[in-house]
Structure 1
Amino acid sequence: MSPLLSFFTSIDPKAKPGIPVKVQLSEIDRSLKVPTLLFLIFAVIWLQIGSFFAIVSSIKMHNPEFLANWEWLTFGRARSAHLNAMAFGWANQAIFAVAIWIMARLCKTAVRHGGLLVIAGIFWNIGVAVGVIGILTGGLTSVEWLEMPPQVAPILAFSYVLIAVWGIIAFRFRQLGHVYVSQWYILGALFWFPWLYVVAQIMILWEPARGTVQAITNWWFAHNVLGLWFTPVGLAAIYYFLPKVLGRPIHSYYLSVLGFWSLALFYNWAGIHHLIGGPIPVWLISAGIVASVMMVIPVIVTAINHHMTAVGNARAVWASPTLRFIVFGAMSYTLVSLLGSAMALRDVNVVTHFTQFTVGHAHHGVYAFFTMVMFGSIYFMMPRMLNREWPSAGLIKVHFWCAAIGIGIMLVGLHVGGWIQGEQMIALDAEGNPKYTFLEIVKNLVPWLFSRSVSGMLLSIGHIAFLVHFFWMLAGPKISQYKDGPTLLARLNKEEGA
C-alpha cells in the first residue's frame, strides 16, 4: 500500500481501528523524538528572536530615540515582530511539541505518519520567517495578532492541518478505555484554533466585514487565541505533569469535567468586554461582561483541583524542575483569570481600558501562566526523549529565577503604572476639566515603563540560559555513559510514577 493511500485509510472514519497494541512509553518517546525536537529547537530559537524585539520595543516606550535611525526597528515594526515571533514562533511550536507528546503517551500508541509532522514543522517555520521579515520590511497589517502579510496565512494553515490531523489520528487509534482530562483540552484546542484563525483571516483581511464588525472579530480572535488555544494546552500540561510527577491522581475527575465544559461555554464570549464604550450593540457588550464574570466557575474549580492535588507536597514541588515552573504557571492562571473577570466590570474597565494595565494582563496570561508551563513541560520531556540528564542544575535555577522575578517585576510595573495612568486619564478638576494633560500622564508613566525594560533584561538572561542548557542537553552524553547512570535512570523512572 502506498504511503498516501495508507494515510487516507488511517483517517477514514469508516475503517475499524482494530485492536490497539500496547506500546511502552519509551517506544512512544523514540517515535516522537525527531518531530518533537524539531518543534522545540525552532521554538527556542524564536524565543530568543522574540526576546530581542521585546527589549527594543520596550526601551522605545520610554526612550523614543533608541535605534531611531533604523527603519526596520521602529516601534510599530519591532513590537509586531516581537508579538508574532513569540506567538507563532515560540508559543505555537511549544504547543505542537507538548500537545502531541502528551497525546501520544495518553493514547499509548506509537506515532503514525511522523513524517507529516516534520514536513509541517519545516513549512511552519518558513511561514513564520517570511511573516516576520514581511513585518520588518513594512508589509505588516494593522490588525493585532495578525500583523504578518496575508500571503503567509495559507502556509501556516497547511502546516497546521498536518499537525491537527495527526493529533486526531493518534486519538482515534488510542487504546480503548478512559479518556483523560488532558486529552479533552488538547482535542478541544486542535478544533478551536483553526476555527478562530480562518474566521479572523477571512472577515478582517481576505473578505473584510464592514464597520465595527472588524473590531469585534479582532477582539474575538485575539482574546480567544489565549483562552481557547494557549489556555487549553497549558491546562492539559498541568493536568498531565502535576499528578505524574507527584505520583498521585488528580483530586476530582468531576471538577475536571465542570472546568472543561464551562471554559468551552463561556470563554468564547469573554473578549467583547474589551470594547466597552465602543459603537457596538449594548447587548453584545453585556453578553461579554456576563461571560467574563462566569469564567470564575472554570477558574475556581480548576484551582481547587490543582491545589488539592499538590497540597502537602511543597518539598516535592520545589525539588522538581518541572513542577517549579508548572505550579508557578498554575497559580498564575488562577490570578490572571480572576483579574480578567474583574476587568470586565464597567467600573474597573473605565480605569484599565487603553492603559498599560491591559498590557500587563496580557503578559500575565501568556508568560506567567502559559510560557512557564511550557518551560516545565520541556524540562520533563527532554530527558525521556534523549535518554539524557539535564547537564546543569545551576542553569535551571538561573532560568527559573530570572523568569519568575522578571515577569514579577513586569506585572507589578505595568499593573500599578497602568492603574495610575487610568486614574489620571479620567481625573477631573473642580470645574470638570481634565486634571492632567496628556504629556503629564506620559511623563508619570515613564518610571513604570523603565521597570518593564529591566524585567525584559532579566527575562532575556533566563531565555539565554535556557538556550544554552537546551543545546547542551542535545549534545550531552546518554545516561548510560554516566558513572551514576543507573541512579539517574532510576530517578527518571520514579518521577514517572513507575
Structure 2
Amino acid sequence: MTPAEIPLTPPPFTAAVATSPEDEVTRGDVEQVERALIDASTRVPVLMFYTSAVVWLLIGTLLAGLTSFKMHMPDLLGGVSFLTWGRIRPAHMNAMVFGWASMVGIGTSIWLMARLSRTTLRHPLLLVAGAAFWNLGVLLGLGGILAGDSTGYQWLEFPPYAALVLFVAYSLVVSWAVLMFRFRRGGHIYITQWYLLGAFLWFPWLYGATQIMLFVVPVQGVMQAAVNWWFVNNLLFLWFGAIGLGTAYYMIPKVIGRPVYSYHLAAIGFWTYAFFASWTGMQRLVDGPFPAWMITASIAASILTIIPVATVGLNHHMTMRGHFGLMRYSPTLRFTVFGAIAYTVFSLVGIVLSLRSVARYVQFTQASVAYSHLG
C-alpha cells in the first residue's frame, strides 16, 4: 500500500450518522459495550506484560544503582565475579531494554491493536505463554551475562540460547498482532496501526539480521561495530520510537476528544520516518576505519529525520491547540505529551551529535550514553 492509499480524512463521528437522539444513545451504548468486551479480552495478557515489565524495571533500577556505586567505589563487591562492573552494567541495560521497555511496549501495542481493529482477542492464553517465554528469555539472558557468557556487543549481550527463547516468544506475540489486524472490522486504517505494524515487522528484521551477521555468519573486523551500532540506533527509532509515536497518535486525540489535526502530515511523518531512520547508526563511528560513504549516508539520514520530527511535532501540537489546559486533569495526557516532547528533544540532540564537527569531540564522552538514555 502506498501513502496515497491511506485514508486522508478522519473517520466520521457516530453522531453524524445518527437519525435521532435515541439512535445516537443506542449507537453509543453499543460502542461502549464493544470496547468493554475488547478490553476484557486483552486484560490478562496485557496485565501479564505490564506486571512483568514493572518487575524488570525494579531489577534494572537496582542494577543501575549498583553500577553507579561501583563507578565511585570500584572495589565494592570486587571479589564477587558476577557483580563486577563489566557484568552488572550490561545486565542493567538489557533488563531495561528487553525487560522493561520492550514488554511494556508489547502490552500497549496489543491493547491498541485490538481497540483499533475493533476485534476481541481470541485465545489470549497463547499471548500469556508468549509473555512467559519472553520473561524466560530475559531471565536466561541476564543470568548468562552475570555468569560471564555475554557476547560483548552493546544491547546484544544476551547469549544465543536466550536470544532463541526471545524469538519464540516474539513469534507468538507478533502472530496474534497480525491476525488481529487481518480480521479487523471496518476499512479505515488509523495511523497508530501503521506505526504498530511497522514496529512489529521491524523488530524481527533488526534482531534477526543482527544475530545472523554477528553470530551465525559473522562479518569480519570493524564491520561488526558497524552492525552493532546500526542495531542500537534502529532499535531506538524503529522499535521503541514507532511504538511510542503510535501510542501518542492514539492517546492525544482520545483524551481531548478531537481527531488528529492532519492525516496528510501523519502519512508524511510515517513514511519519512520509516525511510530515514533505517539508515542511521553509522554516524556514531565518525572518523572510524570505515568507508566514508557509509558514515556520510548515516549523517545525512540523521539530518533528514528532521522531516518526520517536524511533521509529527506539528501534528501533535495542532491537535492539542486550545486543549493544553486538560493536562492539569489527565495524567495520561501529561505523560503522553511529555513523551512526545522528549521524542522531539531526543531527535534534535541526535541530529546535533551526528554532525562531524560535533561528533569528533563528544562521541567518546558520556554525551553518547546520555543520548541513548534520553531515547
Which of 324, 330, 342 aligns to 1:314? It is: 324
The answer to whether the aligner puts 1:204 opposite 2:214 as a matched pair is yes
String of CA shifts for 1:303-353, please: whole Å, max 9, x gaps: 101111112222211211111111111111111101101111100111111
Aligned partners of 2:324 and 2:95: how far apart in 1?
Answer: 35
Deviation at 1:212, TM superposition (A): 1.9
Q: 62-71 or 255-264: which moved more?
A: 62-71
Aligned partners of 1:61 and 1:205: how far apart in 2?
Answer: 31
The answer to whether the aligner puts 1:192 opposite 2:202 as a matched pair is yes
Alignment of 1:227-306 (within 5 A): 227-306=237-316
Alignment of 1:38-77 (within 5 A): 38-77=48-87
**Residue of structure 2 equivalent to 1:109:** 119
Q: Would you say the 8 A contact 1:272–1:284 is kept in 2?
A: yes
The answer to whether the aligner puts 1:32 opposite 2:36 as a matched pair is no
Find the residue that maps to 1:343 and give its secondary structure: helix
Identity of counterpart residues, as a percentage? Answer: 48
Aligned partners of 2:264 and 2:76: how far apart in 1?
Answer: 54
**Residue of structure 1 equivalent to 2:25:** none
Aligned partners of 1:337 and 1:159: how far apart in 2?
Answer: 30
Q: Would you say the 8 A contact 1:113–1:166 is kept in 2?
A: no
Q: 150-159 or 305-314: which moved more?
A: 305-314
Structure 2 residue runs without a partner (length 5+): 1-29
String of CA shifts for 1:259-282, please: whole Å, max 9, x gaps: 000011101111110011111110
User: How many residues were matched structurally?
Assistant: 345
The answer to whether the aligner puts 1:142 opposite 2:152 as a matched pair is yes
String of CA shifts for 1:428-477, please: whole Å, max 9, x gaps: xxxxxxxxxxxxxxxxxxxxxxxxxxxxxxxxxxxxxxxxxxxxxxxxxx
Deviation at 1:209, TM superposition (A): 1.0
Deviation at 1:117, TM superposition (A): 0.4
Find the residue that maps to 1:32 and give its secondary structure: helix
Alignment of 1:372-383 (within 5 A): none
Q: Would you say the 8 A contact 1:121–1:159 is kept in 2?
A: yes
Q: Would you say the 8 A contact 1:262–1:295 is kept in 2?
A: yes
Aligned partners of 1:144 and 1:257: how far apart in 2?
Answer: 33
Find the residue that maps to 2:278 and give its secondary structure: helix
Structure 1 residue runs without a partner (length 5+): 1-20, 366-498
Which of 339, 344, 369 aligns to 1:329? It is: 339
Q: CA RMSD in A?
A: 1.3
Letter in 2 for 1:313: H
Aligned partners of 1:226 and 1:173: how far apart in 2?
Answer: 30
**Residue of structure 2 equivalent to 1:221:** 231
Letter in 1 for 2:206: L
Aligned partners of 2:74 and 2:328: how far apart in 1?
Answer: 42
Deviation at 1:176, TM superposition (A): 2.0
Deviation at 1:118, TM superposition (A): 1.1
The answer to whether the aligner puts 1:100 opposite 2:82 as a matched pair is no
Letter in 1 for 2:330: S
The alignment's TM-score, normalised by the length of structure 2, stands at 0.90
Letter in 1 for 2:302: S
Aligned partners of 1:131 and 1:286: how far apart in 2?
Answer: 35
Aligned partners of 1:89 and 1:188: how far apart in 2?
Answer: 21
Which of 143, 158, 173 aligns to 1:133? It is: 143
**Residue of structure 2 equivalent to 1:88:** 98
Aligned partners of 1:251 and 1:66: how far apart in 2?
Answer: 54
Deviation at 1:249, TM superposition (A): 1.0
Aligned partners of 2:186 and 2:330: how far apart in 1?
Answer: 32
**Residue of structure 2 equivalent to 1:78:** 88
String of CA shifts for 1:239-261, please: whole Å, max 9, x gaps: 00011011111111110001000
Deviation at 1:84, TM superposition (A): 0.8
**Residue of structure 2 equivalent to 1:170:** 180
